[in-house]
């Protein structure tokens, strides 16, 4: 069913996301955004904070400049249900490129720091990109993602995106994965044509499952094995916007783990639309810390 023909219970999460991206202007370069009160989560979803920070930046940039990259650091876990204030610093306004720095604040403390760069579109005959894998099944042949437990089912219900898990890629003789998470995703209902809002929604989606992709080499293909055995948190996140995007159409997100060491896992990802056009790339590093058994904690006590 096309995204714009989804029933009300499917449109509501997208409407909620659009409301959260409709920031309140408090003063020049100062904005406030709401976030949902999450019963099951102790901190705000990082993708929402990044999307709102990017939205705050776009509100200070000429509309003919489009985001081409963002680089952010998650400094503290945000508190669900409490508004976040976004301070925008106009670093540079150029004819071709514009730069903004955004600091997201709760209780007077920074929870997220981001630099975003914008570019005025240019005519260029150069066009190269990596392609889709030849054996990739189309989204209609992939089952909807299944909930792991009641908490995950609630998150999926409230998520603005529908996802279909293709599964990890092949593992070579050295134990190296070609991909550690492959998933089709799209918004559950239609989004406005505004390319800036589309980019912000994509920023939200890039944080979905990045930590999952990082833990596969540590805990194996069934990453549910990691639950209760580790603590994790996104540390930093970067996105490059290569081409126009419509996140209310199907896109393929291919992530693979690059490194795991010193309790940190690094992943890279690419996002293609269904026609094989590369629209974005992502990198993220996350804290992945194994939990010690209670008996060991007592001994170290």
pLDDT tens-place string over residues 135-168? 899 999 998 876 666 666 677 788 999 999 998 8
Judge whether 140 lies within some domain.
no
Residue 176: domain span: 3-121+146-300
Question: What pLDDT was estimated at residue 178?
Answer: 83
Closest by alpha carbon to 191, among 274, 277, 239, 249? 249
Task: Supply the CATH number for residue 60's domain.
Answer: 2.40.160.210
Chain-centroid distance of CA 7 in Å reads: 25
Q: Annotated catalytic, 284?
A: yes
Q: Annotated catalytic, 207?
A: yes
Q: Exactly one of 34, 207, 248, 273 is catalytic; name it.
A: 207
Domain count, the chain: 1
Q: Exactly one of 106, 189, 198, 284 is catalytic; name it.
A: 284
Q: Annotated catalytic, 52?
A: no
Judge whether 127 lies within some domain.
no
pTM: 0.90
Distance CA(202)–CA(160), nearest Å, equals 11
pLDDT tens-place string over residues 175-203? 788 888 999 999 999 999 999 999 999 99
Distance CA(125)–CA(182), nearest Å, equals 31
Phi–psi pair at 258, nearest 5 degrees: -100, -40
What's the CA angle centered on 271, arms 34 and 274, to 5 degrees? 110
Q: Exactly one of 34, 234, 273, 281 is catalytic; name it.
A: 234
Judge whether 235 lies within some domain.
yes
Question: What pLDDT was estimated at residue 276?
Answer: 96
Judge whether 72 lies within some domain.
yes
Judge whether 133 lies within some domain.
no
Judge whether 132 lies within some domain.
no
Judge whether 126 lies within some domain.
no
What residues of the chain score a pLDDT lower than 50?
295-301
Judge whether 141 lies within some domain.
no
Question: What pLDDT was estimated at residue 221?
Answer: 64
CA 194 vs CA 59, 98, 244: distances in Å: 13, 19, 11
Question: What pLDDT was estimated at residue 212?
Answer: 86
Closest by alpha carbon to 191, among 183, 200, 181, 178? 200
Question: What pLDDT was estimated at residue 42?
Answer: 76
Question: What pLDDT was estimated at residue 255?
Answer: 95
Distance CA(160)–CA(156), nearest Å, equals 8
Question: What pLDDT was estimated at residue 225?
Answer: 61
């Amino acid at each position: 069913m096309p995204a714009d023909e989804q029933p009300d219970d499917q449109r509501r999460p997208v409407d909620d996301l659009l409301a959260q991206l409709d920031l309140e202007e408090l003063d020049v370069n100062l904005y406030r955004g709401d976030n949902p009160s999450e019963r099951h989560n102790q901190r705000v979803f990082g993708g929402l904070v990044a999307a709102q920070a990017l939205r705050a930046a776009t509100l200070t940039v000429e509309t003919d400049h489009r985001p081409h990259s963002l680089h952010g650091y998650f400094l503290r876990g945000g508190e669900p249900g409490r508004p976040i204030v976004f301070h925008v610093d106009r670093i540079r306004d150029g004819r071709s490129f514009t730069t903004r720095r955004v600091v997201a604040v709760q209780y007077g403390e920074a929870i997220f720091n981001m630099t975003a760069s914008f570019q005025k579109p240019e005519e260029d005959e150069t066009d190269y990109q990596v392609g889709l894998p030849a054996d990739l099944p189309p989204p209609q042949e992939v089952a909807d993602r299944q909930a792991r437990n009641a908490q995950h089912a609630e998150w999926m219900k409230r998520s603005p995106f529908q996802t279909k898990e293709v599964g990890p890629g092949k593992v070579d003789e050295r134990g190296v994965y070609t991909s550690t998470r492959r998933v089709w995703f799209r918004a559950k209902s239609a989004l406005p044509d505004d390319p800036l809002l589309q980019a912000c929604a994509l920023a939200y989606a890039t944080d979905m499952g990045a930590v999952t992709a990082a833990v596969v080499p540590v805990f194996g293909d069934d990453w549910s094995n990691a639950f209760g055995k580790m603590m994790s948190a996104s540390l930093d996140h970067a996105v490059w916007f290569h081409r126009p995007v419509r996140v209310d159409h199907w896109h393929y997100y291919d992530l693979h783990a690059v490194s795991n060491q010193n309790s940190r896992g690094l992943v890279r990802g690419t996002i293609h639309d269904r026609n094989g056009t590369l629209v974005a790339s992502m990198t993220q590093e996350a804290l992945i810390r194994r939990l010690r058994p209670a008996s060991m904690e007592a001994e170290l006590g």
